[in-house]
Amino acid sequence: MNQPNSTKSETAENRESVNSSAMKRVLLVEDDRSVRRYLEVTLQRSGYEVITAGDGLEAMKLALSSPVDVVVTDAVMPNMGGQELARFFRSNAKLSKLPIVLLTGQENWETAAASKELIDAFLYKPVKVDVLKSCLAKLLS
């Protein structure tokens, strides 16, 4: 009688492991802690696994050491901004196909738009959650 119970729990564990491996992993790069935390929680509630970085340099290290499915990055940050980060990803054979979403303020739009060949999607800050989720769904489909 113990065997059927162990089979049920093993099946549940297998299902959980399959679901977690199917979760898409977002690298969220934002220097403003409150914005980063808000987007992190929002994306997690939407079913994404989220790893975070406070600037481009930290994001580079994470992307090289952890598998990532998509990058959401602020345009202007200390140490390394979003465009520089995108240039790094595009020049790296392992990361060159990674979809990149750039979050930018209206005042930075022209600078950001100059990087069109590097960026897959541009979103204005403050970003609307539904717009971000829709953008990620399109890029990951």
Q: What is the pLDDT of residue 11?
A: 34
CATH architecture of 23-140: 3-Layer(aba) Sandwich (3.40)
The answer to whether the beta carbons of residues 73 and 30 sit under 8 Å apart is yes
Query: Residues with Cβ < 8 Å from 47, sequence gap 6 or more?
Result: 23, 24
The answer to whether the beta carbons of residues 75 and 112 sit under 8 Å apart is yes
What is the pLDDT confidence band of residue 1, given thresholds at 50, 70 and 90?
Answer: very low
Structural tokens at position 26:
């977002």
Can you say whether residue 79 is alpha, beta or left, with left for phi > 0 and alpha for psi between -120 and 50 degrees?
A: left
102 pairs with which residues across the strands? 73, 122
Determine the average pLDDT of the residues in 17-38.
82
Rounded CA separation 37/43 (Å): 10
Structural tokens at position 35:
């914005």
What percent of the chain has pLDDT above 70?
78
What is the pLDDT confidence band of residue 14, given thresholds at 50, 70 and 90?
Answer: very low
Three-state secondary structure call for residue 3: helix
Average pLDDT along the chain: 84
Rounded CA separation 80/46 (Å): 28
Q: Shortest CA distance to 112 belongs to which of 134, 133, 136, 81?
A: 81
Rounded CA separation 65/81 (Å): 20
